[in-house]
Amino acid sequence: MTRLKVAVRVRPMSERELELGCVPVVSAESENTLAVTNLKVAESGAGDSRERVRRFAYDCCFHELATQDEIFDAVENIIGNSIKQRYNSCVLAYGQSSSGKTHTMMGVPGNPGLTPRLCEKVFDYLRETAVGEEMNDLKVTVSFLEIYNEKVRDLLDGECADNYIARKRLPLKVREHPKKGPYVQGLREHYVTSPESLLDLLQKGDRRRRIASTLNNRRSSRSHSVFTVDCAGARLRLVDLAGSERAATVGKDRVKEGAHINRSLVALGNVISALAELSSRCSKRRFVPYRDSVLTWLLKDTLAGNSNTVMVATVSPSSNCYSETVNTLRFGQRAKLIIARPVIDEDPKERTIRELREEIRRLRLLLEGGGVQSYSALSP
Ligand SMILES: Nc1ncnc2c1ncn2[C@@H]1O[C@H](COP(=O)(O)OP(=O)(O)OP(=O)(O)O)[C@@H](O)[C@H]1O
């Protein structure tokens, strides 16, 4: 049993925010706390029931100068160990448009984010704990999808980009398997044998993601993306959500997309609230509205607890983003209450084989280390 972990990352002020005369109002005060100042409340606070400075606590807080290395180190601890033990795991970036989700997940050339860094290390994690035949034949498959206007598209459909554009791409359907849970019918899974081929597919798919220019972000992601690596039975999911936004900040062409994005993020908020309530011992609640959006339906297993999940909430430090920032921080606080119960997904036969292999490995180590006598002495 483990809690969903929440990290908050504050990005630097953008040029636009500085040009508009905005000032920073968010600061990471320590490794775990963040302070947000409401400039509308006078410093004296006289006659105002609102607080001028509000503090929020999380598992980790990263200030605007935090490097991609620092973020990776914090996340790797949880995700790397989870993969080694063959548990499902997930990193989910959440935040207002232009707050730094894609920067955190994908990064920029020469300064990669969490997704390419984890892809590079997946094979190492698996080899560290592989046994028997698995050592030489690691079964790793990958899929990459986006949810755009509530429709699922396969970002890795078709081998080459030209082919992909020429094909009439029909949206894929989400179905639910009674045991395995929700899945996307027809989503291609690609077998990979090296970090290079994994990174290659990540980059190919990422280039096909819907982006557009908005008032706040020249390259705004207009879809939610889910990159899934199936690592010898355990699933690693890397999710970059589209950003929440007010219609006034996107420009009129993007309003319809924005409405879909906001609707699915509201659905995500409702699911997170329901799960947080469910995690409290005295709750009588049973119903969680997963099916209210494609995003929440697909992430059902991840959110419901069969995963070690880290949410990275990204925020802008700027005074003009105050209310969106507080919304993101409140969202992170609710997510922190969710209790997960990850289980190793394997059938009983596979479990017995894995346990026997582990036993063989342990005995071999004992023999190699000359510890066989002490082992025999302990055996009945
Ligand atoms: N920590 C950071 N350090 C430096 N620059 C950053 C940081 N975070 C974000 N940026 C820059 O801010 C801009 C917006 O970031 P990004 O595209 O990652 O936001 P987003 O939350 O993914 O937005 P959207 O939801 O619109 O896709 C980009 O130019 C990005 O390079």
CATH of the domain at 276: 3.40.850.10
Q: 195 is written with which tokens?
A: 């970090």
Residue 343 has which token pair? 């289980």
Burial 248-271 (b: 16+ CB within 10 A, else e): ebbeeebeebbebbbebbebbbbb
Positive or negative torsion for Cα 334, 151, 75, 321: negative
> Which residue range(s) make up the domain with 367?
351-380
Residues with CB under 6 A from ligand 1: 11-12, 14, 95, 97-103, 217, 219-221, 242-243, 314
Question: Has 98 been labeled as part of a binding site?
Answer: yes
Helix axes 114-129, 68-84, angle to 10 degrees: 30
Asked if residue 296 belongs to a known ligand binding site, the reply is: no
Q: Please give the DSSP secondary-structure letter assigned to residue 75.
A: H
Split into its structural domains, the chain has a count of 2
Query: 223 is written with which tokens?
Result: 């879809």
Pair (263, 126) in one structural domain: yes
Tell me which residue of 292, 221, 208 sits closest to 254, measured CA to CA: 221
Q: What is the rounded end-to-end Cα distance, in angstroms, of the chain?
A: 33
Task: Please give the pLDDT value at position 251.
Answer: 57
pLDDT tens digits for the chain (380 residues)? 778 899 999 999 999 999 999 999 999 999 999 999 998 887 776 666 778 899 999 999 999 999 999 999 999 989 998 888 888 999 999 999 899 999 999 999 899 999 999 999 999 998 887 766 666 778 899 999 999 888 999 999 874 444 444 455 678 999 998 888 899 999 999 999 999 999 999 999 998 887 767 776 777 788 899 999 998 778 999 999 988 766 555 556 666 777 778 788 889 999 998 888 887 766 666 788 999 999 999 999 888 877 899 999 999 999 999 999 999 999 999 898 888 777 666 667 767 776 787 788 788 888 887 654 443 333 33
242 with 368, same domain: the answer is: no
In the Cβ-directed half-sphere of 208, how many Cα atoms lie within 13 Å? Answer: 25
Does 276 share its domain with 204? yes
Whether residue 125 sits in one domain with residue 268:
yes
Between CA 218 and CA 65 the distance in angstroms is: 22
What does the pLDDT read at residue 310?
94
Q: Could you give the CA distance from residue 77 to residue 65 in angstroms, rounded to a whole number?
A: 21
Ligand-binding site membership of 102 (annotated): yes
- Position of tokens 């498959």? 141
Query: Are 157 and 71 in the same domain?
Result: yes
Ligand 1 centroid–CA 250 distance in Å is: 15
pLDDT for position 75: 94
Q: Are 32 and 128 in a shared domain? A: yes
* 176 and 238 housed in the same domain: yes
Q: What is the pTM of this model?
A: 0.85
Protein residue with its CA nearest to atom 23 in ligand 1:
98
- Pair (221, 82) in one structural domain: yes
